[in-house]
Amino acid sequence: MKKDTHPEYHTINVKMTDGTVLEMKSTWGAEGDQISLDIDPSVHPAWTGGNQRLMDTGGRVSKFKNKYEGLGF
């Protein structure tokens, strides 16, 4: 690799929302720094599969059903 073109890759501590601390490699911060996460994979619904529900915001689903109700779908 060329000198002075790539960021330094070092070990940092990542504090999850439940208090556990993981050691990871990153270009963020300096060697040994700690970053605290507000949202992490252990609690976020995108990774845990929670909160799976259909939200009809603005009546879009009902508006669609009303528009095409006479077509026999």
Domain of residue 20: give its range: 7-34
**pLDDT value for 21:** 95
Run of H or E including 46: helix 45-48
pTM for this prediction: 0.55
What tens digit of pLDDT does each residue of 4-60 get?
888 889 999 999 988 999 999 999 999 999 999 888 877 777 777 765 566 666 677
Q: Give domain status of residue 43, yes or no.
A: no
Assigned domain for 19 exists: yes
Residue 60 Cα to chain centre, angstroms? 26
The helix (H) or strand (E) run that includes residue 67 is helix 60-67
On whether residue 11 sits in a domain, the answer given is yes
Residue 17 in domain: yes
Stronger pLDDT, 35 or 68, i.e. the higher one: 35
pLDDT of residue 51: 58
State the Cα–Cα distance between residues 71 and 65, nearest whole angstrom. 10
| pLDDT top residue among 69 and 23 | 23
Q: Give just the sign of the alpha carbon dihedral 35, 38, 43, 44.
A: negative
Closest CA to 11 of 29, 34, 31: 31
